[in-house]
Amino acid sequence: MIKVLFFASLRDQLGISELQLPCEANPDTNSLLDNLKAQDQHWSKALKQKQLMVAVNQTIATSNCLLQDGDEVAFFPPVTGG
């Protein structure tokens, strides 16, 4: 399984903070995002934002990243701390 997390405005838009997805053959962050967008129009719209950030196992992924069973993938908007 792959643990998927959503934070801040994205979590509010989707109405969910966490879900578990079965690990498909040769998964990567792009295919995971495509699968999530394919759920329905609402998900597609929320996940389409240009500046969406992705972290794999709590490290920012700047390009497509291969995944394996047990990985934690988080999607979130640009950070605004400080």
The Cα 25–Cα 39 span in angstroms is 19
Quick check: 7 binds another protein (CB under 8 A)?
A: yes
The Cα 81–Cα 51 span in angstroms is 16
Closest approach, Cβ 82 to another protein, in A, equals 4
Quick check: 70 binds another protein (CB under 8 A)?
A: no
Quick check: 55 binds another protein (CB under 8 A)?
A: yes
Is the Cβ–Cβ distance between 36 and 14 less than 8 Å? no
Quick check: 14 binds another protein (CB under 8 A)?
A: no
At residue 35, φ and ψ (nearest 5 deg) are -65, -40
Q: Which residues bind another protein (CB under 8 A)?
A: 5, 7-9, 12, 51, 55, 58-60, 74, 76-82
